[in-house]
Amino acid sequence: MTQQPQAAYPPPPPYAPEEPPKPPRRRAKGPLALLAAVAIAAAAIGGGTAYAFQELTGGDSSSSSSTATSTDVVPTSQKGTVSGVAEAVSPSIVEISAKSGAGSATGSGVIITDDGEIITNNHVIAGASSVKVTTDDGKSYTAKVVGTDSKKDLALIKLEGASGLKAASLGDSDNVKIGQDVVAIGSPEGLTGTVTSGIISALDRDVTVSTDEGQQQPGGGEGGWPFEYGGEQFNGDTGSSKTTYKALQTDASLNPGNSGGALIDMNGNIIGINSAMYSPSSAQSGSGDSGSGSVGLGFAIPVNTVKADLDTLRAGSTD
């Protein structure tokens, strides 16, 4: 029987035609690609990317009300500068002239509503028979005293016939740090709109001031508002009726007439109401120097104290 010859190699499998090559995927172009990239990066990196993007576009990434407010007070291009703070906040600071049987007093105040509510020190308007206010643009108004709190040395007055004023932004004094930069604006010696700068020197100083109407701050001349610290009296006799409060200390120059004015952070928020300053005199120093003025020891009522007292003042308190 004859055997059939066998192939040296197995036959090839049936021919299968190759699939045509798939066209290359086109990459997204333009805004769609950019948005996709930003979305991927934000998902991968998280809040840091979102923050950087907002900073570059001028957005505010913080949810803090004080930070959000500060962005609106001082323009971004001038943020952190004394000139920027002065330009933004000066329209909210006024000069106050109060007359009483004890004489006249010159002080400052901070506009807190656009229709003319103004916060100042109680000692600026204590016992006043008439109160006149001059705004930053030179307009004059008559004001009435709404409420006073002698224990906190605060007062609320209201301008008559005012509207469209620029209200100040009230910050958060609980966040104030020793060494941070600040700006003071007021009317020392009647020099309206004077701007000085410095730092926060200390916190929670127990400053004692008089609540006597006869102890009004003078409109000029030697000395500032009498106060006590550490059991010692400065700038004269504080009298028999007095009160003590926790104060911010600053080396920003304050002089008679700055009382009731603003102590401001570098974002343009009010963090304190200037209320007392140490002014050396010949009687105290024994040097024979008749001059007096700021030596970098000024004190301000924290703005959170002010905010907590507003409802009481608006209700007409005369404490």
| Active-site annotation, residues | 123, 153, 259
CA distance 130 to 118: 15
Task: Please count the other Cβ atoms lying within 10 Å of the Cβ belonging to residue 199.
Answer: 15
Of the candidates 96, 88, 91, 89, the residue with the CA atom closest to the CA atom of residue 159 = 96
CA distance 69 to 37: 31
Task: Please count the other Cβ atoms lying within 10 Å of the Cβ belonging to residue 265.
Answer: 28
CA distance 106 to 189: 7
CA 312 to the chain's CA centroid: 22
Report the alpha-carbon angle 81-84-90, nearest 5.
130
Of the candidates 229, 237, 231, the residue with the CA atom closest to the CA atom of residue 298 = 229
Look at strands 269-277 and 169-170 and give their pairing.
parallel
Continuous segment of H or E residues that includes residue 130: strand 130-134
Yes or no: say if 132 and 178 are a contact pair by the CB < 8 Å rule.
Answer: no
Here the tokens at position 313 are 């003042």
The 3-state DSSP class for residue 304 equals helix
